[in-house]
Structure 1
Amino acid sequence: MSKVRTRFPVATLGQLQEKGRIIAEVKGMQIGVFWVNGQAYAWRNVCPHAAAPVCEGPVCGTRLPSLVYEYKYGRDREIVRCPWHGWEFDLTDGKHLADPGVGLRGYPVEIEGEQVYVLV
């Protein structure tokens, strides 16, 4: 059985592109909508670790695998870091960087004209 989803307007495309992140109230939930590499992604604003407002954390990059004493930084503006305990999540798939079995709850995003919608 297929779920019927409702579209909720959360921002204009220009607002999302300019700010990079919009946190919207949708059906009593806070949902963070992020603009990453020309695509929009929506995640529930709840960290699976301790229910922190994860979408309010810094959008950044992360340390990449490297040799001992070598620190390579990458994936700039593709990671959100939980403001409470520093857990890092990939903004393109919602997965925790250290444990891909843990992730954020995501929602489809549609862009029609200049309007950005989250489907819930």
Structure 2
Amino acid sequence: MLERRFVCSLDELPPGAMKLVDVGKFGVGVYNVAGSLHAIVNYCSHEGAPLCEGLIGGTNESAPDEPGGLRRIKDGQIVRCPWHNWEFDVTTGQNLADPKRRVRTYRVDVADGQVYLNA
């Protein structure tokens, strides 16, 4: 059964920010991606690193029509594992290199300006 846990006030989690919540065995990172809230387990599916300690940013995709042949995408949506640089989309939990690999995601909601995690 899911438990609804208070995370913080919405003002404390501006776009681009992450708040680590002490829940479960590894914790859960709650992210604000351009005003949309998402949560993932703090555990890399590769070798168990504390995933939410990784850098949050974007990634590159091939763009032959762009100078340098690359285009920056998904800014503020990709967390990079601090151990081996595996990239995960915090909005879906999917690994960018291998979409069959993923990390667990959780539902987040806001009520009266307060952020709650359902874990």
Q: CA deviation at 1:101?
A: 0.7
Question: In the aligned structure 2, how far is the partner of 1:19 from the partner of 1:36?
Answer: 6
Question: 1:115 matched to which residue of 2?
Answer: 114
Letter in 1 for 2:111: E
Question: In the aligned structure 2, how far is the partner of 1:13 from the partner of 1:119?
Answer: 16
Structure 1 gaps of 5+ residues are: none
Work out whether 1:8 is the aligned partner of 2:5.
yes
Question: 1:86 matched to which residue of 2?
Answer: 85
Question: 2:21 matched to which residue of 1?
Answer: 24
Letter in 2 for 1:71: L
Q: CA deviation at 1:37?
A: 2.0
SS of residue in 1 equivalent to 2:12: helix
The answer to whether the Cα contact below 8 Å between 2:62 and 2:69 also exists between their aligned partners in 1 is: no
Question: In the aligned structure 2, how far is the partner of 1:113 from the partner of 1:29?
Answer: 28
1:22-101, aligned counterparts within 5 Å?
A: 22-67=19-64, 70-101=69-100
Q: CA deviation at 1:27?
A: 4.1
SS of residue in 1 equivalent to 2:69: coil
The answer to whether the Cα contact below 8 Å between 2:16 and 2:76 also exists between their aligned partners in 1 is: no
Question: In the aligned structure 2, how far is the partner of 1:43 from the partner of 1:63?
Answer: 22
Alignment length (residue pairs): 117
SS of residue in 2 equivalent to 1:95: coil
Identity of matched residues, % = 38
Question: How large is the RMSD of aligned CA atoms in angstroms?
Answer: 1.7
The TM-score normalised by the length of structure 2 is: 0.89
More divergent stretch after superposition (34-43 vs 9-18): 9-18
Question: In the aligned structure 2, how far is the partner of 1:55 from the partner of 1:104?
Answer: 11
Question: In the aligned structure 1, how far is the partner of 2:53 from the partner of 2:24?
Answer: 19
Question: In the aligned structure 2, how far is the partner of 1:27 from the partner of 1:94?
Answer: 17
Structure 2 gaps of 5+ residues are: none
Q: CA deviation at 1:66?
A: 2.5
Runs of 4+ in 1 over 6 A off after TM superposition: none
SS of residue in 2 equivalent to 1:55: helix
